Amino acid sequence: MVGRRCYAVVVGVALTVLLAGCVGPTVTDAGYRNKVGDTARQISSSIASARLAVQLDLDGRMAFALTDQTVSDAESDADSAATALASRQPPTDSALKLYQRASRPIQDAVDALRALRIAVRRGDSAAIRAALAGLDAPQHGMDDLRTAASGG
Protein backbone atom coordinates (compact mmCIF):
# COMPACT_ATOMS: atom_id res chain seq x y z
CA MET A 1 0.00 0.00 0.00
CA VAL A 2 2.96 2.30 0.59
CA GLY A 3 3.90 1.62 -2.99
CA ARG A 4 0.47 2.72 -4.18
CA ARG A 5 0.58 5.95 -2.26
CA CYS A 6 4.10 6.73 -3.43
CA TYR A 7 2.95 6.17 -6.96
CA ALA A 8 -0.01 8.51 -6.52
CA VAL A 9 2.22 11.22 -5.07
CA VAL A 10 4.69 10.94 -7.92
CA VAL A 11 1.92 11.12 -10.49
CA GLY A 12 0.41 14.10 -8.68
CA VAL A 13 3.70 15.95 -8.63
CA ALA A 14 4.38 15.16 -12.26
CA LEU A 15 0.96 16.39 -13.30
CA THR A 16 1.37 19.58 -11.31
CA VAL A 17 4.72 20.27 -12.88
CA LEU A 18 3.32 19.54 -16.31
CA LEU A 19 0.27 21.73 -15.84
CA ALA A 20 2.35 24.51 -14.36
CA GLY A 21 4.48 24.32 -17.45
CA CYS A 22 1.44 24.63 -19.67
CA VAL A 23 -0.40 27.35 -17.85
CA GLY A 24 2.36 29.30 -16.14
CA PRO A 25 4.16 31.35 -18.76
CA THR A 26 1.46 33.74 -19.85
CA VAL A 27 0.09 34.55 -16.45
CA THR A 28 2.83 37.05 -15.81
CA ASP A 29 3.83 40.06 -17.85
CA ALA A 30 7.26 38.64 -18.54
CA GLY A 31 5.70 35.38 -19.59
CA TYR A 32 3.45 37.16 -22.05
CA ARG A 33 6.35 39.11 -23.49
CA ASN A 34 8.21 35.83 -23.97
CA LYS A 35 5.22 34.42 -25.76
CA VAL A 36 5.04 37.40 -28.10
CA GLY A 37 8.77 37.15 -28.73
CA ASP A 38 8.47 33.42 -29.47
CA THR A 39 5.58 34.01 -31.83
CA ALA A 40 7.57 36.66 -33.68
CA ARG A 41 10.50 34.28 -33.89
CA GLN A 42 8.36 31.48 -35.27
CA ILE A 43 6.70 33.70 -37.86
CA SER A 44 10.07 35.16 -38.80
CA SER A 45 11.38 31.65 -39.38
CA SER A 46 8.32 30.79 -41.50
CA ILE A 47 8.90 33.85 -43.66
CA ALA A 48 12.57 32.97 -44.06
CA SER A 49 11.73 29.40 -44.96
CA ALA A 50 9.17 30.41 -47.59
CA ARG A 51 11.52 33.02 -48.97
CA LEU A 52 14.39 30.54 -49.29
CA ALA A 53 12.24 27.94 -51.01
CA VAL A 54 10.71 30.38 -53.49
CA GLN A 55 14.04 32.01 -54.25
CA LEU A 56 15.55 28.60 -55.00
CA ASP A 57 12.52 27.79 -57.11
CA LEU A 58 12.93 30.96 -59.17
CA ASP A 59 16.57 29.98 -59.66
CA GLY A 60 15.40 26.64 -61.05
CA ARG A 61 16.91 24.59 -58.25
CA MET A 62 13.74 23.15 -56.75
CA ALA A 63 11.05 20.66 -57.49
CA PHE A 64 7.60 22.24 -57.44
CA ALA A 65 6.23 19.84 -54.85
CA LEU A 66 8.87 20.82 -52.30
CA THR A 67 8.38 24.54 -52.95
CA ASP A 68 4.65 24.21 -52.58
CA GLN A 69 5.03 22.12 -49.45
CA THR A 70 7.49 24.50 -47.82
CA VAL A 71 5.41 27.59 -48.54
CA SER A 72 2.18 25.92 -47.40
CA ASP A 73 3.85 24.73 -44.21
CA ALA A 74 5.18 28.24 -43.62
CA GLU A 75 1.75 29.73 -44.05
CA SER A 76 0.02 27.26 -41.75
CA ASP A 77 2.76 27.50 -39.11
CA ALA A 78 2.52 31.29 -39.07
CA ASP A 79 -1.24 31.09 -38.91
CA SER A 80 -1.13 28.65 -35.98
CA ALA A 81 1.37 30.81 -34.13
CA ALA A 82 -0.81 33.87 -34.63
CA THR A 83 -3.93 32.05 -33.46
CA ALA A 84 -2.12 30.64 -30.43
CA LEU A 85 -1.00 34.11 -29.39
CA ALA A 86 -4.43 35.62 -29.97
CA SER A 87 -6.03 32.99 -27.78
CA ARG A 88 -3.94 34.00 -24.79
CA GLN A 89 -5.39 36.60 -22.48
CA PRO A 90 -3.00 39.53 -21.94
CA PRO A 91 -2.49 39.60 -18.16
CA THR A 92 -1.56 43.26 -17.65
CA ASP A 93 -2.05 46.64 -19.29
CA SER A 94 1.43 46.73 -20.75
CA ALA A 95 0.87 43.23 -22.10
CA LEU A 96 -2.31 44.43 -23.75
CA LYS A 97 -0.43 47.36 -25.31
CA LEU A 98 2.18 44.93 -26.60
CA TYR A 99 -0.52 42.77 -28.11
CA GLN A 100 -2.15 45.74 -29.81
CA ARG A 101 1.21 46.73 -31.20
CA ALA A 102 1.88 43.16 -32.35
CA SER A 103 -1.40 42.14 -33.89
CA ARG A 104 -1.11 44.20 -37.07
CA PRO A 105 2.40 43.12 -38.11
CA ILE A 106 1.54 39.51 -37.32
CA GLN A 107 -1.57 39.63 -39.46
CA ASP A 108 0.39 41.29 -42.25
CA ALA A 109 2.92 38.47 -42.12
CA VAL A 110 0.27 35.79 -42.34
CA ASP A 111 -1.42 37.61 -45.22
CA ALA A 112 1.87 37.97 -47.08
CA LEU A 113 2.57 34.26 -46.75
CA ARG A 114 -0.92 33.47 -47.94
CA ALA A 115 -0.44 35.67 -51.00
CA LEU A 116 2.84 33.88 -51.70
CA ARG A 117 1.23 30.47 -51.39
CA ILE A 118 -1.54 31.46 -53.78
CA ALA A 119 0.94 32.87 -56.30
CA VAL A 120 3.13 29.74 -56.10
CA ARG A 121 0.19 27.42 -56.64
CA ARG A 122 -1.01 29.44 -59.60
CA GLY A 123 2.46 29.35 -61.09
CA ASP A 124 2.30 33.06 -61.87
CA SER A 125 5.92 34.24 -62.00
CA ALA A 126 5.17 37.93 -61.75
CA ALA A 127 2.84 37.41 -58.83
CA ILE A 128 5.43 35.19 -57.16
CA ARG A 129 8.11 37.85 -57.40
CA ALA A 130 5.69 40.47 -56.14
CA ALA A 131 4.64 38.28 -53.23
CA LEU A 132 8.29 37.56 -52.47
CA ALA A 133 9.01 41.27 -52.29
CA GLY A 134 5.91 41.60 -50.16
CA LEU A 135 7.62 39.52 -47.49
CA ASP A 136 10.22 42.17 -46.72
CA ALA A 137 8.08 44.52 -44.67
CA PRO A 138 6.52 41.76 -42.52
CA GLN A 139 9.99 40.33 -41.92
CA HIS A 140 11.15 43.70 -40.58
CA GLY A 141 7.96 43.92 -38.59
CA MET A 142 8.78 40.64 -36.89
CA ASP A 143 12.33 41.78 -36.13
CA ASP A 144 10.98 44.97 -34.54
CA LEU A 145 8.50 42.94 -32.56
CA ARG A 146 11.19 40.67 -31.21
CA THR A 147 13.16 43.65 -30.03
CA ALA A 148 10.08 45.22 -28.45
CA ALA A 149 9.11 41.98 -26.71
CA SER A 150 12.55 41.48 -25.24
CA GLY A 151 12.18 44.77 -23.44
CA GLY A 152 13.41 47.25 -26.04
Q: Is 144 in the site for other proteins (CB under 8 A)?
A: no
Report the greatest alpha carbon distance in the chain.
73
Residue 7 burial (C-beta neighbours within 10 Å; 0-12, 13-18, 19+): exposed
The CB-side HSE value for 29 (13 A sphere, CA atoms) comes to 9
Q: Of 94 and 150, which CB lies nearer to other proteins in the complex structure?
A: 150
How far is CA 8 from its chain centroid?
37
Q: How far apart (Å, rounded) are the C-alpha atoms in residues 6 and 43? A: 44
Q: Is 69 in the site for other proteins (CB under 8 A)?
A: yes
Q: Where does this chain touch other proteins (CB under 8 A) — which range of 67-75, 90-98, 100-108, 111-119?
A: 67-75
Q: Where does this chain touch other proteins (CB under 8 A) — which range of 3-11, 60-68, 92-100, 127-135?
A: 60-68
Q: Where does this chain touch other proteins (CB under 8 A) — which range of 57-65, 89-97, 98-106, 130-138?
A: 57-65
Q: Read off the DSSP letter of residue 59.
A: T
Q: Site for other proteins (CB under 8 A): how many residues?
A: 27
In angstroms, give the least distance from the CB of 130 to other proteins: 21
The 76-105 site mask, x for binding other proteins (CB under 8 A), equals: -x----------------------------
Helices 125-133 and 29-58: crossing angle in degrees, nearest 10, is 150
Q: Is 151 in the site for other proteins (CB under 8 A)?
A: no
Q: Which of 68, 108, 111, 144 binds other proteins (CB under 8 A)?
A: 68
Q: How far apart (Å, rounded) are the C-alpha atoms in residues 69 and 80? A: 16
Task: Say which residues have a Cβ less than 8 Å from residue 27's Cβ, sequence separation at least 6.
Answer: 91
Q: List residues near other proteins by CB under 8 A.
A: 17-18, 21-22, 38, 41-42, 44-45, 48-49, 51-53, 56, 60-66, 68-70, 73, 77
